[in-house]
């Protein structure tokens, strides 16, 4: 006869019964152990405050302090035995602390709850990740500025709709990404400033009757102030959502650049050569060099966007204050953080190592009638044509060049004058790509002089 336990509704893995199911669904230690350092930092600050306010005896505070340091060293050394039966990092640490120091461990939880404890730990962890993101963004921006400075006057095609539009400079294109990542850096800094309020001491949801000093613990943990409402403090996950929002926008920027690197490194474009450190070869085609790092960065966006959507769905229907649903707030944030930091580091490495093909860039810059707008502008400036008439004349000249199989500068003066007899030899002065980019002197334009100004500005900002 078949084993009846295998037919139970929870299946083979949970054949031991409902207790096994409950332990598996309730436990978070498998992922929240990543917050061990933050949990111990929060407990040390809380214990010090309990001693300073006279709530705990100095001997208890010292025992707790020493015991927590021992626990931390065990975790960092890899000898700590995590238990799913103890549910989470908080209970695992507290249980081990009791084994080490005995009765004083039970007094550590005075004046707090797991609700404010986990909110504090998670905030500290996210804050650390925001700091890491800031460092990664600064490094990437410096790498881009270095590329821009080296190629401030290298011409390349500027695209709209991935069609050749007007010539730009390599430096100008690199600096466009500096501006994008600068906005990401601003969002990171802004989110960090807004989230820097301490939940510790909010207790379960209503505060505590013990005469604790929340300002002291906030200061000890590097927060600007304690949170002003205990209900909000334990139920707020905006800081995690903002982290994911900033990560998502930045990941989108990284993905756009990654897409360009994939295109640019192809045999059809040959705009850049990526280093072997960030490329792989084909298993059967020896001529191929695949931009795998760029492609993987492009793919990371899905995980990060997904994390933001997942947490929004977790939080969207929760009444105040804490609900167990909020245990599902961490795994996707951890995953998004890992992938964001990895993508930033990989992109910074690719940018530092990549070599732009100046000759290929310049050859492409002049193709596709890229100076047609310069011709139209010349007709307006020099001949006084209304722009719409100049646009029509230029279109006719493009059609003539296209039929002849040449570019605009290759048309003879007679051929140009057959379309408009006012055109003179001076027109050829605006048809070269170098002349074109040099003329774009408006603030924020692609002229090498303007690019060098922006490079100097950002070098001063970035230090």
Other CB atoms within 10 Å distance of the CB of residue 144:
27
Place of tokens 């707008």: 373
Looking at the fold, whether 89 and 147 belong to one and the same domain comes out as no
Catalytic residue among 161, 283, 412, 442: 161
Q: Is the dihedral of CA 393, 394, 395, 397 positive or negative?
A: positive
Considering the domain boundaries, does residue 163 fall inside one? yes
What residues make up the domain containing 383? 367-462
Q: Is 350 inside any structural domain?
A: yes
**DSSP 8-state symbol, 266:** S
| pTM for the whole structure | 0.89
1 falls within a domain? no
Residue 12 inside a domain? The answer is no
Q: Are residues 241 and 344 in the same domain?
A: yes
The CATH number of residue 169's host domain is 1.20.200.10
CA 205, CA 229: separation in Å to the nearest integer? 9
First to last CA, the chain: 76
Give the pLDDT confidence score for residue 431 in this predicted structure: 84
CATH number (domain holding residue 77): 1.10.275.10
Cis peptide before 137 (omega within 30 of 0): no
Q: How far apart (Å, rounded) are the C-alpha atoms in residues 59 and 83? A: 29
Pairing of strands 272-273, 163-169: unpaired
- Tens of pLDDT along the chain (463 residues) come to 444 444 444 445 555 566 777 777 767 778 889 999 999 999 999 999 999 999 999 999 999 999 999 999 999 999 999 998 888 898 999 999 999 999 999 999 999 999 999 999 999 999 999 999 999 999 999 999 999 999 999 999 999 898 888 899 999 999 999 999 999 999 999 999 999 999 999 999 999 999 999 999 999 999 999 999 999 999 999 999 999 999 999 999 999 999 999 999 998 999 999 988 887 665 555 455 788 899 999 999 999 999 999 999 999 999 999 898 888 899 999 999 999 999 999 999 999 999 999 999 999 998 878 788 888 998 999 999 999 999 999 999 999 988 998 888 889 999 999 999 999 998 888 888 898 899 889 999 999 999 999 999 999 999 9
157 and 138 within one domain: yes
DSSP letter for 11, please.
Answer: T
End-of-domain residue from the set 311, 341, 363:
363
Q: 141 and 71 in one domain?
A: no
Residues 151 and 278 in one domain: yes
**Within-domain flag for 8:** no
Helix, strand, coil shares of the chain as percentages rounded to 5?
Answer: 70, 5, 25
Tokens of 152: 């401030």
324 and 410 part of one domain: no
The catalytically annotated residue of 59, 83, 186, 282 is 282
Q: Are residues 312 and 446 in the same domain?
A: no
**How many distinct structural domains can be found in the chain?**
3
Are residues 351 and 387 located together in one domain of the fold?
A: no
Same domain flag for 132 and 106: no
CA of residue 15 relative to chain centroid, distance: 43
In a domain, 14, yes or no: no
Q: Same domain, yes or no, for 279 and 191?
A: yes
Q: Of 328, 344, 363, which closes a domain?
A: 363
* DSSP assigned state of 165: E
Question: Residue 455: which CATH number?
Answer: 1.10.40.30
Domain end residue (candidates: 65, 84, 110): 110
405 located within any domain: yes
User: Do 145 and 258 belong together in one domain?
Assistant: yes
Please indicate, yes or no, whether residues 259 and 336 belong to a single structural domain of this protein: yes
Concerning whether 161 is annotated as a catalytic residue, the answer is yes
Q: Please indicate, yes or no, if residue 348 is contained in any of the structural domains.
A: yes
Residue 123 to residue 127: CA distance in whole angstroms: 6
Q: Say what the pLDDT of residue 275 is.
A: 87
156 strand-pairing partners: 168
């Amino acid at each position: 006869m078949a084993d009846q336990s295998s037919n139970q509704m929870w299946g083979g893995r949970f054949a031991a019964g409902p207790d096994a199911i409950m332990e598996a669904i309730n436990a978070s230690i498998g992922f929240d152990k990543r917050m061990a350092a933050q949990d111990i930092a929060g407990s040390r600050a809380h214990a010090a405050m309990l001693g300073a306010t006279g709530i705990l005896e100095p001997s208890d505070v010292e025992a707790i302090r020493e015991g927590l340091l021992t626990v931390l060293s065990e975790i960092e050394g890899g000898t700590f035995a995590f238990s799913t039966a103890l549910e989470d990092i908080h209970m695992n640490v507290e249980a081990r602390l009791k084994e080490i120091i005995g009765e004083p461990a039970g007094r550590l939880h005075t004046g707090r709850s797991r609700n404010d404890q986990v909110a504090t730990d998670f905030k500290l962890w996210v804050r650390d990740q925001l700091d890491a993101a800031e460092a990664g963004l600064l490094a990437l921006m410096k790498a881009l500025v270095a590329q821009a400075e080296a190629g401030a006057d290298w011409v390349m095609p500027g695209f709209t709709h991935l069609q050749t539009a007007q010539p730009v400079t390599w430096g100008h294109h690199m600096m466009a990404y500096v501006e994008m990542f600068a906005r990401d850096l601003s969002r990171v800094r802004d989110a960090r400033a807004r989230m820097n309020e301490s939940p510790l001491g909010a207790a379960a949801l209503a505060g505590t009757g013990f005469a604790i000093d929340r300002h002291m613990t906030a200061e000890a943990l590097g927060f600007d102030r304690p949170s002003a409402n205990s209900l909000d403090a334990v139920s707020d996950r905006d800081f995690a959502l903002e982290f994911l929002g900033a990560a998502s926008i930045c990941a989108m920027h990284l993905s756009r650049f990654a897409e360009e690197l994939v295109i640019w490194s192809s045999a059809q474009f040959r705009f850049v050569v990526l280093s072997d450190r960030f490329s792989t070869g084909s298993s059967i085609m020896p001529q191929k060099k695949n931009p795998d790092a760029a492609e993987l960065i492009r793919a990371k966006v899905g995980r990060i966007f997904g994390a933001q959507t997942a947490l929004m769905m977790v939080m969207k229907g929760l009444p105040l204050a804490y609900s167990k649903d909020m245990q599902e707030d961490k795994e996707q944030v951890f995953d998004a953080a890992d992938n964001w930091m990895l993508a930033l580091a990989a992109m910074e490495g690719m940018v530092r190592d990549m070599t732009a093909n100046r000759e290929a860039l310049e050859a492409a810059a002049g193709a596709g009638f890229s100076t047609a707008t310069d011709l139209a502008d010349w007709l307006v400036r020099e001949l006084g044509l209304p722009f719409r008439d100049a646009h029509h004349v230029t279109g006719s000249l493009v059609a003539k060049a296209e039929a002849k199989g040449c570019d605009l500068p290759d048309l003879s003066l007679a051929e140009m004058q057959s379309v408009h007899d006012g055109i003179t030899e001076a027109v050829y002065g605006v048809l070269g790509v170098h002349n074109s980019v040099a003329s774009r002197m408006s603030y924020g334009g692609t002229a090498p002089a303007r690019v060098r100004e922006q490079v100097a500005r950002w070098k001063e900002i970035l230090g």
